[in-house]
Structure 1
Amino acid sequence: MAEVLFIVEVPTPYRNPVLDHLHVAGLDMHALYHRGDADRGWGAAVPAHPHEVVDGGTVSRCVALVRAALRPDLKVVCCFGYARLANVLAVLTARLRGAQVVLRSDSNWLDERRRPAVRRWGKRLLLRAILGRRARVWTVGAQNDRYWAEYGFGNRHLIPFGLPRPPVASPEQAAALRTRHALGDGLVILFVGRLAPAKGLDTLLSAFAAFADPAARLVIVGQGPQRSLVDRAAAADPRIRVLGALPQDELGPVFAAADLFVLPSRYEPWGLVVAEAQANGVRVAVSDAVGCHADRVTTDNGWVFPTDDADRLAEVFVEARDLSSLRRLRVPATPAFNAGPAMAAELVAMGARVTSRRARPVPEYENERC
């Protein structure tokens, strides 16, 4: 099949360009996806790298992944996530035949540290038994690195999560969206994500209700089980705009029109949507349960507030409004970042070959760094 096998849950707009880069760079790679659909509101996310979708139930997935791990030319198995039984069996099979195992996940220590010590002890033993001592872990940030360090994995290398193609828009597009949705000239607060209890929408709505500024607007983008909660809040407060779910390629003007992006999650392993906002120069306010807060949020570009603390979040809105009304200054936009080059260097060091017949210049955006 290939020298490098990637096992991935589903194609996404932020992961496809990374794996596309590896293929374009000439690595002999192949990706196996558990699902081929893009049912999270991203729109079309079709990979340009060699891939296939593993159809069927758990048994058929296990058989397909074990067969792929038994290929004689396989040198490296890169597993994005470890919870599925099929992934576990593929990793164990690869280890038995001497292939290198690489793991990448967004698990973080913020959530894990709250679990009982006996459970963490058992998980440590289980992870070491499955992955082995030689496993290479590509960590995504400080809390993810802490997670793997606490579980005894020393062979770690930081390759940050980033966006190869963030949804960005011009000031003219942002102004047009403000006009279309009657957002006015006051502070525009934005939430983008799944409308679910884990996202802390009740905290956001309570904080906004306490923010007594008639010129402010709260824009909510997304769909999910708490849509009725959001609709009721919008019916009671004319300052709230509910746009529903939008595909990835339509999010740029929404981000660019905002003055403050809020992610009040109770559980958020990483939070790529924060990088989407920052790519448009938007300040962010995130709860301290958001995995990326230690890596991406500073006093210069935003706020970190205690999880479930609506009073503190309402204070953040006042502080953001004062900044906005005084200067209307954007923070420096975070540039695009493609993790492909860093992954390619790692894979070559592990013995994967680069074939000149496919290699060609990498698109310019892939060489930008955050």
Structure 2
Amino acid sequence: MTSLPLVFDAPKRALPPRHLADLDAAGRRAAVAELGLPAYRADQLARHYFGRLTADVDTMTDLPAAARGELAALLPPLVTPVLEQSCDGGATRKTLWRAHDGTRAESVLMGYPDRATVCVSSQAGCGMACPFCATGQGGLQRNLSTAEIVEQVRQAAAAARDGALGEPARLSNVVFMGMGEPLANYPRVIAAVRRITEAVPDGLGISARGVTVSTVGLVPAIDRLADEGLPVTLAVSLHTPDDELRDTLVPVNNRWKVDEVLAAARRYAQATGRRVSIEYALIRDVNDQPWRADLLGTVLRREIGARLVHVNLIPLNPTPGSRWDASPRRVQDEFVRRVQAAGVACTVRDTRGREIAAACGQLAATGA
């Protein structure tokens, strides 16, 4: 399989200390053995971390007191909340995290009547340079480690369980749609997905069908993901069906054109049996014209197949000082109607958190 292009490598910055969530079962046992402890202590530690959602060794009373101190080395603090905001009656909670080296990333925990979802970051910043995205305009600082990603999910799961959204809830969905391009941090994101979806004590036990991995269209990585045996949903941030505009809105389109991206999405859907989500941020007078809606429906039906694709229309959450703005409601409704008329499913994403800068990268950009 073709390796990812070096142009998407993150700056060479030190990753955080080794953490339990960085390791698979064999790696955890080996790490515990390095501490001079029996291998079964690794499973005990993992049951606390993944099953009880705690990283506080002092609460792990089934472990000998002396061993707790040594095992704490496998649970170093990785991401610390520096700012938390809520809105939507407490159903949306955004957290700004600070890592060991001062880099910052964001996650958003959202409660719905039938589920609880966390949107997580895979990188600190982003190197894809999409002009309408706050994160893209800030540039890429570094990749997040596997454990830094998993920690966002574990802490969200613990918060939901403890009633942070109002009533106690079980975290059921994880979307990689926060800061960063997930497939540009491929090995760590895939390892994180395995930690998230494997059963306790090897992982958090969240169904793979509740996990969505987004991409702006890194074709070799999409094909690689199709071979992983992970039935996660692929979300392609398309934003326009024509190459002329997409070259500007999504600069990676200069490397892989729309037809190449959609062909990879079709291969993914065929390999996994999972319907692909097409993300489309609707921007006033930029990509919201009726003819683009018609073209989008036609291209998706032809290149992927109506049964294997769904359009997720996103009302743009404008960033402060940006020239980009959301389309009027009547334009949005007409866009949906035209895509649906082409035989392709199209819905509008529920907008959350406008008053707390919940578009990815907005909170970090405030310098809080």
TM-score by length of 1: 0.31
Which one has the largest radius of gyration? Answer: 1
TM-score by length of 2: 0.31
